[in-house]
Amino acid sequence: MFTHRLLQEKDLQSICTFPQSAEEMFYMFPKATHPLTPKQLLGVAENRHDPTVVLVNGVVAGYGNFIEVHERDYCSIGNLIIKPAERGKGAASYLIRVFVDMAFQRYSASYVRISCFNHNTAGLLLYYKLGFRPVDMEERETPDGRRVALIHMHLCRDVIY
């Protein structure tokens, strides 16, 4: 049911429809302006590693990338977003596992990092379920000036491999 491949230019417009609000947009891509445009998405994808889409029956259902890759040290997953109609059906878990496998197998990372804003309860619970554990937190500000916590989580290689 799920497959994945590298991002293609033809995917951009579809992915830009995934964030359903300015808040979701902030969770996915804090530096972007709402609404997300293909130009913004392509701009960040060109400066990231392994921009990857998850497909459900051949249709793009999610997107993510590595913000950072430090071979033999760590990789950081970012810009993760799932199509609204596919949320809660396993696409996010699949995509995160793809990134975890890439980090550990391709880049020989000792751990994988992912960060999540405190209001994104679904994301926090999913990451915890997949083995990520909170290790740090920092204060950030939303575009409308509210204080939020960005929770940093790690998944160590020796926990699952």
Domain boundaries, the chain: 2-113
90 CB neighbour count, 10 Å cutoff: 16
The CATH number fitting domain 2-113, selected from 3.40.50.720, 3.40.50.300, 3.40.630.30, 3.30.70.240:
3.40.630.30
- The model scores a pTM over 0.85: yes
For the chain, how long is the longest CA-to-CA vector? 42
Residue with tokens 């230019």: 9
End-to-end CA gap in the chain: 25
The per-residue pLDDT string of the chain (161 residues; one tens digit each, 9 = 90 and over) reads: 899 999 999 999 999 999 999 999 999 999 999 999 999 999 999 999 999 999 999 999 999 999 999 999 999 999 999 999 999 999 999 999 999 999 999 999 999 999 999 999 999 999 999 999 999 999 999 999 999 999 999 999 987 65
The Cα–Cα gap between 79 and 33 comes to: 14
Residue 129 has which token pair?
């379920």
